[in-house]
Structure 1
Amino acid sequence: MKEKLWTKDFVSITLINFFLMLTFYLLMVTISVFAVNEFQSNASAAGFASSIFVIGALVGRLFGGRYIDKLGQKKLLLIGIGIMIMTAIVYFFVESYIMLSIIRVIHGIAFGIAGTATGTIVAQAVPTTRRGAGIGYFALSMTVATAIGPFIGMFILAHFAFNYIFIFCLVCVVISFLLSLMIKVKELPEEKHEEEPGRGIFKFIEKKAAPVSLVAAVTAFCYAGIISFLSFFASEHSLTEAASFFFVVYAVAVLVSRPFTGKLFDNKGPNSIMYPAIISFAIGMFMLSQANNAITLLIAGAFIGFGYGTYMSSSQAAAIKEVSAHRVGLATATFFILTDIGLGVGPFLQGYLVPSIGYNGLFLILGILLVLCLPLHYFLYGKHAKLS
């Protein structure tokens, strides 16, 4: 008999993650517009206002992963969301680009702290025998947020004042805080002396989780090009309306595939689904680079949804698969630290390429990079992965 997966606490932590990720992706695709409209920022400065959040999240995850066992998962979650509520309020009073950047960093730190807690709590909430499926469904909350966040952001930008975006984000984090108060958390066991973290950076990084997380970071770097430049690409090709549904198609692709991808992970091993996911992501990126009509754009969204959405959830599950219970927090932080780096440096570095190669050229190069992820995955993780 299968162990129960859909418990009250599992559903609650998944909803909390959904609302937090919703605010993240909504602001990632709209804050650059705010910076341009309110402070006349240039393109690189506007992109930096978006990416600097991820730098803050990296700091938050370093802190969260190191101290989650000392402070406790629930306390860390409440601290992170509490700071997010305060920063959500401060957005209404931003008067300069410098102030916006500072708030984005603080908001990012709080998000990183809360995200480390949610990722650790869910790893404890799902049965070990159903970890692939459980983490997959949990990651689905992120995937759905990836679709709905940009869609809501674009809709509000088109029909309302920007402050309504801040109002929406504030409501989301308040709901997350209330849900956090109600969940029961199984705290991590005390760390064994013989498995004390190493020195230096290895106090913050779980070495066993690093290889697969590095590959995930490269895929996140590629995905950053989409969330940062898709709107500009669509405008250039008169595909703005279709682009607003790109992330919806992305989410539908993951929703349709999720029931069997989680089972394959648990029954056939990580590689059974991770290699096809990378290939699908690469195909989607190549299609996107050549898209000149709505149909091609949306089909690319489906391939990218299955590819990136599946690889990220599978790699997160793989990162904690072989880690002992008291190291799950550090492994979770390691995964998100590295993927945050990919998401954070992506818009900054890719922005330098756009003037010379254009958005089509950028997506083509990112597709090639994804092809290179196949051997990278094999050497860093795939050849060592257990069948089940």
Structure 2
Amino acid sequence: MERLWTKSFIGLTLAMFFLGLGFYLLLPTLPLYIKDLNIGESELGLIIGVFTLSAVVVRPVIGGLLDRFGRRFFIVAGLILFAIAMFLYNYVTGIFLLFLLRLLHGGGWAISTTSIGTSITDVIPSLRRSEGMGWYGMSMSISMALGPIIGVWLVNSYSFRHLIALASCLSVVAILIALATKVPAIRSDNKRKMVFFDKSVLSISVAIFFLALTYGGITTFLPLFAASIQVNAGTFFLVYAIALTLTRPVAGRLADRYSEGSIIIPSIILTIIALLILSLSDGLLGVMASAILYGIGFGSAQPTLQSAILDLVSPAKKGIANASFFTAMDLGIGLGSILLGFISQFFGFSALFATCAGSGIIALLIFTGFVRRTLLYRKEEHNSNIDQSR
């Protein structure tokens, strides 16, 4: 079996971890900082949302550029842009400058995550892709679990400037690791027309969008819901992170051995069940059960879907495929938070999480109806090509 844990794989995974840790230090604490600048709540949503908007606009363009010109330049450039933006939070004094900074920061995040995410698929053996994506995805999962805890502690115990200093240092560490990591010099024929989207990934991107919408509902409204039933929201996210961490490598191996669909379908079903349980919960037991099932379900589906989307395009379009995956995730999380906010306001949390379950059902129907058969055909075709080459 081909080797997975190469220096390139470890380096890219560590770079993503430090990048993600810096990002998740800032994510839960930025609203507090914005309020300290005397910016109103109506503008707060705009400032938070423009980051996602910037990323959504940049990702498809970067996907095409990655396929044309290779990965390394964009990895380093994106990380540097991200680090500069992080450092500049120290000098923001008003809403206009903060708006521009969020645009810059979102662009740096989009460039770095898309280019690292594409490069990691170059160094993972094709027969171990889902397993590799599972281990790689844990770098973001762990940073997602640790970042908010450390960030809130820093702001409460010290100051926002201390948080920015640490986040900036973590970004620099990511840059240094990326510079020391060798990545394959992969680029397409410059004579070909540059493309930024492939229609073969449209169906799976829509499925990813509806699945990501459920995650937007969890991250945005679970803390408020937990407070309303007197449950510590940190308990949910801790249990979720543990379940996700234990599940991802196993799910990846099973997907490589059998098929992506054999993991994605039951994973989405578990996600739906978790959300339905949450919609009916009124105490700690229901929240814990939901966290376990959501960690297993969403945690297994997300990296396997990223692996699957790569099977739908030619190797020369990995950048486009990864950009489509991240764009669908960003849109699902961002738009989901906005749309679900209205449902929460008028119908309550139970209806909100039931709606998230409905979104998961849509993702399941799209995947089983439009994506699974194509994936099976591509896998059979790939195995046939391997047999012929022997």
TM-score (norm 1): 0.91
One-letter amino acid of the structure 2 residue matched with residue 247 of structure 1: F
Corresponding residue for residue 338 of structure 1? 328
Q: Does 1:349 align with 2:339?
A: yes
Given candidates 252, 256, 259, the residue that maps to 1:262 is: 252
One-letter amino acid of the structure 1 residue matched with residue 60 of structure 2: L
Query: What is the RMSD of the two structures over their aligned residues, measured on CA atoms?
Result: 2.0
CA shift for structure 1 position 17? 1.3
User: Unaligned stretches of 5+ in structure 2?
Assistant: 380-390
Corresponding residue for residue 216 of structure 2? 224
Q: Which whole-Å CA distance do the structure 2 matches of 1:135 and 1:360 have between them?
A: 33
Corresponding residue for residue 140 of structure 2? 142
Residue deviations 1:108-158 (CA, integer Å, cap 9, x gap)? 111101111101110101111111111121122222222222333333344
Corresponding residue for residue 30 of structure 1? 29
Q: Which whole-Å CA distance do the structure 2 matches of 1:370 and 1:143 have between them?
A: 21
Q: Does 1:276 align with 2:266?
A: yes
Q: Does 1:169 align with 2:159?
A: no
Q: Which whole-Å CA distance do the structure 2 matches of 1:277 and 1:255 have between them?
A: 15
Q: Does 1:39 align with 2:29?
A: no
CA shift for structure 1 position 342? 1.2
Given candidates 196, 206, 211, the residue that maps to 2:203 is: 211
Which has the higher mean CA deviation after the structures are superposed, 76-85 or 315-324? 315-324
Q: Which whole-Å CA distance do the structure 2 matches of 1:176 and 1:369 have between them?
A: 35
Question: Is the partner of 1:29 in helix, strand or coil?
Answer: coil
Q: Which whole-Å CA distance do the structure 2 matches of 1:376 and 1:166 have between them?
A: 41
Q: Which whole-Å CA distance do the structure 1 matches of 2:319 and 2:222 have between them?
A: 34
Which has the higher mean CA deviation after the structures are superposed, 104-113 or 143-152? 143-152
One-letter amino acid of the structure 2 residue matched with residue 227 of structure 1: T
1:11-22 matches, within 5 Å, as: 11-22=10-21
Which has the higher mean CA deviation after the structures are superposed, 4-13 or 130-139? 130-139
- Residues 76 and 25 (structure 1 numbering): CA distance in 2 closer, same or farther, change over 3 Å? same
CA shift for structure 1 position 27? 2.9
Q: Which whole-Å CA distance do the structure 2 matches of 1:296 and 1:163 have between them?
A: 38
Which has the higher mean CA deviation after the structures are superposed, 280-289 or 306-315? 280-289
- Residues 107 and 26 (structure 1 numbering): CA distance in 2 closer, same or farther, change over 3 Å? same
- Residues 70 and 268 (structure 1 numbering): CA distance in 2 closer, same or farther, change over 3 Å? closer
Q: Does 1:358 align with 2:356?
A: no
CA shift for structure 1 position 196? 4.3
Contact 1:48/1:348 (8 A) holds in 2: no
Q: Which whole-Å CA distance do the structure 1 matches of 2:281 and 2:34 have between them?
A: 29
Contact 2:281/2:287 (8 A) holds in 1: yes
Q: Which whole-Å CA distance do the structure 2 matches of 1:191 and 1:153 have between them?
A: 44
Corresponding residue for residue 91 of structure 1? 89
Residue deviations 1:240-291 (CA, integer Å, cap 9, x gap)? xx31232221121122212321111111101111011111111222222233
Q: Which whole-Å CA distance do the structure 2 matches of 1:382 and 1:4 have between them?
A: 28
1:151-162 matches, within 5 Å, as: 151-162=149-160
CA shift for structure 1 position 310? 1.3
Residue deviations 1:200-257 (CA, integer Å, cap 9, x gap)? xxx2112223321221111111211121222222233322xx3123222112112221
Corresponding residue for residue 387 of structure 2? none
Q: Does 1:237 align with 2:229?
A: yes
Residue deviations 1:177-201 (CA, integer Å, cap 9, x gap)? 01011011102142386x745xxxx
Contact 1:214/1:339 (8 A) holds in 2: no
Q: Does 1:316 align with 2:337?
A: no
Q: Which whole-Å CA distance do the structure 2 matches of 1:237 and 1:333 have between them?
A: 39
Q: How many percent of aligned residue pairs carry the same amino acid?
A: 29
Q: Does 1:376 align with 2:366?
A: yes
Contact 1:117/1:329 (8 A) holds in 2: yes
Q: Which whole-Å CA distance do the structure 2 matches of 1:209 and 1:18 have between them?
A: 27
Q: Which whole-Å CA distance do the structure 2 matches of 1:98 and 1:57 have between them?
A: 19
Contact 2:12/2:120 (8 A) holds in 1: yes
One-letter amino acid of the structure 2 residue matched with residue 145 of structure 1: S
Contact 1:225/1:363 (8 A) holds in 2: yes
Corresponding residue for residue 116 of structure 2? 118
Which has the higher mean CA deviation after the structures are superposed, 159-168 or 299-308? 159-168
Q: Which whole-Å CA distance do the structure 2 matches of 1:310 and 1:250 have between them?
A: 12
CA shift for structure 1 position 54? 1.2
- Residues 83 and 9 (structure 1 numbering): CA distance in 2 closer, same or farther, change over 3 Å? same
Q: Which whole-Å CA distance do the structure 1 matches of 2:288 and 2:44 have between them?
A: 27
Corresponding residue for residue 200 of structure 1? none
Q: Does 1:80 align with 2:78?
A: yes
Question: Is the partner of 2:28 in helix, strand or coil?
Answer: helix
Q: Which whole-Å CA distance do the structure 2 matches of 1:70 and 1:373 have between them?
A: 31
Equivalent residues, number: 378
Residue deviations 1:42-68 (CA, integer Å, cap 9, x gap)? 2x5333332221111122212311212
User: Unaligned stretches of 5+ in structure 1?
Assistant: 198-202
